[in-house]
Structure 1
Amino acid sequence: GADRHCLFTQIVRTYKTSELQEIVKTFRQEPGEGVLHWLVRVWDNAGQTVLLLRYELQQLGVMAQDAQVRAEMANPPNPKGANGQEEESPSLYRWLMGAVDTAYPSAGELEAQVGPWKTIAEGVQALRQLGMAWAVSMGGMDGPDDMPVTKFTKAALLRTAPDELKPSLLAVVMAADGRVGELAATLMQLETALAGARPKAVRAAKGQRNQGQAGQGVERGELRVPRRVLWFDLLQAGVPREETDRKPTANLYKRWMQLPASKRSTGPERERTVEPNKPAEPSASLAEWQLPRPY
């Protein structure tokens, strides 16, 4: 009956202190890392699957380097679901999106944080950050790749582009009328055409953080395949978008490794090199962190 329903909705699993510390370690904003870059990384690392009660989120303020966001995390507004009701245990991603939205209520103010870039690969990251700015302003329920490409997004992307790439970018960007993820895929095709070669797996410089790439859980210095390459190759191979969007990087990697070598951007000659260093699977504790949804 009603009493039983009420009982179930109140039974939620809370985190141990050690687990909260692990969440901070996994998702903290790095010194000098912009808010939008941070949010994209939280999204790519499946921060939308880590469900938190309000008082737990309040203990995680240390993960934010941005003083305004950290202040909002101390007294965060409860994110609302699609039905307009406050969620009991929103995801870390939703909590952070709400805190950023309160700290930076203007999408334009967030967009201004996206600085100049030099390569198309960096341009794709800039584009996704611009998409994230709009995701924040639209309630924070979706990721950056699902945001529409607006005229403001186009203007900001072209404004921050290097002069030598603007002639190549202009027609592609101005013709875009879909979503950020689709334009990102188009830009990657342009990168391939301009470079005369398909994207390669990237080796992170030892001791340096390789920002914006897939498999952030992999130790520094290991060979990794950028998430954007995994995503693009899967789409090109005919995998439906609903099976790639919002999925953890480790899941995308598994699907990617099942593709024929000819369908993978790293090429057959890199297959054995990439395999031993695939992105780390989410730890068991991360899976356990997910709180049960109310019945």
Structure 2
Amino acid sequence: MLWGFTPEQLQDPDKVVEYLKEKCCGYSKETQLTALCWALATIYQTLLDSRQHHPERENTPTGPAAEPKDQPIPVSVAPTHKKIYTRKPVRLVKDDDELGPSREQEEEPEPEVITRSLSLSELRDMRKDFSCLPGEHIITWLLCCWDNGASGLELEGREAKQLGSLSKEGGIDKAIGKKAQALSLWRRLLSSVRERYPFSEDVICRPGKWTTMERGIQYLRELAVREMVCYDPDNAQLPTDPDEVQCTRPMWPKFVQSAPSSYANSLAVIDWKSKEAPTVDEVAGRLRQYEESLSSSLVLAVEKLSQDVRQLKEDISYSPPAQTRIAAVRSKRFSAPERGYGAYTP
């Protein structure tokens, strides 16, 4: 049984449900349930098609002024200007009593780099900003560290050791200060998690379903961080930013599975037409555009229609066929005389 709906038809859920009842009437229970499943899938496909085509024509960029306004929003970006590991250039000047222009000519052409170690108060602030919360998954914690500016903080091994237990896992915390040279905290965190969990399948992302698109985008970014855990740290061609990681085909089904039912059916049919997978940042932009382009009235209509169709499926599943009920009535009508004649003996 083939179905076809228009967005205008979906605006009236009651009429659509009556139409489905009329079309399914007279078929077996299995056929009716299968037809309703296909009808619901077609409804979601119609919703997706109507959202994908029209917004693209209306929002086609025409120049620098048309750049997308929606950019990925960090969860909670902590100030990092007080925590950055600094290297101060100092120009050496001869210590004499001569004054005048000749003094400027005696400055060294190449600056000498002096390293300033972080103070105890700065380390204490870093420990507060980058500590894993109780019950927080490792990947969620890593993404929060990135959003809090871990890539802009350089630490030597002895300083990293003073941060204490950041991840609340001994194997990871011990590896954070393993390398003595100055490295960014972000690189130290990734390498320490990689050493503790050499396979990405061993790292658990947040379970459960997200309820808003922004939470869904955050989960997609967590999947990107999970991919980065297995990256080669010495490969300069690989991205260090989770938003620049490509959204691979194995990542997308996991994202769809975490989506609520109102999104999952539409997201499941999305396919990337280009050979090269888009980045997480690009996918996030499309998801936000999809969310904003959804007409509230159409969404409410589809949600009500989905509930009505599910209720119709339940009614069909648990109610006996009409012929069975008619046969039962007939058996009751003739059962009394038959019992009476059966009991009579001349």
Q: Which residue of the other structure, out of 246, 264, 267, is the alignment partner of 1:166?
A: 264
Q: Which residue of the other structure, out of 94, 101, 111, is the alignment partner of 2:194?
A: 101
What SS class does the counterpart of residue 30 from structure 1 fall into? coil
Note the C-alpha offset of 1:125: 0.7
CA gap of 1:191–1:173, structure 2 versus 1, over 3 A, is farther
Aligned to 2:139: 36
Q: Which range moved further: 47-56 or 34-43?
A: 34-43
| Structure 2 Cα separation of the partners of residues 100 and 195 of structure 1 | 43
Normalised by the size of structure 2, how large is the TM-score?
0.47
Note the C-alpha offset of 1:123: 1.0
Instruction: List gaps (5 residues or longer) in structure 1.
Output: 79-87, 198-295
| Structure 2 Cα separation of the partners of residues 66 and 118 of structure 1 | 30
| Structure 1 Cα separation of the partners of residues 205 and 247 of structure 2 | 18
Q: Which range moved further: 48-57 or 64-73?
A: 64-73
Q: Does 1:179 align with 2:279?
A: yes
CA gap of 1:148–1:18, structure 2 versus 1, over 3 A, is same
> Based on CA coordinates, which of the two structures has the bigger radius of gyration?
2
| Structure 2 Cα separation of the partners of residues 101 and 195 of structure 1 | 44
Aligned to 1:53: 156
Note the C-alpha offset of 1:8: 4.9
Give aligned-pair identity as a percent: 27
Aligned to 2:226: 133
CA gap of 1:61–1:152, structure 2 versus 1, over 3 A, is farther
CA gap of 1:189–1:19, structure 2 versus 1, over 3 A, is same
Note the C-alpha offset of 1:175: 5.4
Letter in 2 for 1:145: D
Letter in 2 for 1:164: S
CA gap of 1:77–1:175, structure 2 versus 1, over 3 A, is farther
Aligned to 2:178: 76
| Structure 2 Cα separation of the partners of residues 174 and 105 of structure 1 | 30
CA gap of 1:174–1:58, structure 2 versus 1, over 3 A, is same
CA gap of 1:72–1:164, structure 2 versus 1, over 3 A, is same
* TM alignment of 1:208-219, pairs within 5 A: none
| Structure 1 Cα separation of the partners of residues 259 and 158 of structure 2 | 42
Structure 1 segments (4+ residues) deviating >3 Å: 172-176, 194-197
Note the C-alpha offset of 1:171: 2.8
Answer yes or no: is the 8 Å Cα contact 2:205–2:223 preserved in 1: no
CA gap of 1:42–1:192, structure 2 versus 1, over 3 A, is same
Q: Which residue of the other structure, out of 95, 114, 117, is the alignment partner of 2:206?
A: 114
Note the C-alpha offset of 1:71: 3.5
Instruction: List gaps (5 residues or longer) in structure 2.
Output: 1-107, 234-238, 298-346
Answer yes or no: is the 8 Å Cα contact 1:47–1:93 preserved in 2: yes
Number of aligned residue pairs? 182
Letter in 2 for 1:114: R
Aligned to 1:143: 241
Normalised by the size of structure 1, how large is the TM-score?
0.55
What SS class does the counterpart of residue 61 from structure 1 fall into? coil
Letter in 2 for 1:50: L
What SS class does the counterpart of residue 151 from structure 1 fall into? coil
Answer yes or no: is the 8 Å Cα contact 2:140–2:205 preserved in 1: no
Aligned to 2:122: 19
| Structure 2 Cα separation of the partners of residues 67 and 162 of structure 1 | 36
Note the C-alpha offset of 1:77: 4.5
What SS class does the counterpart of residue 158 from structure 1 fall into? helix
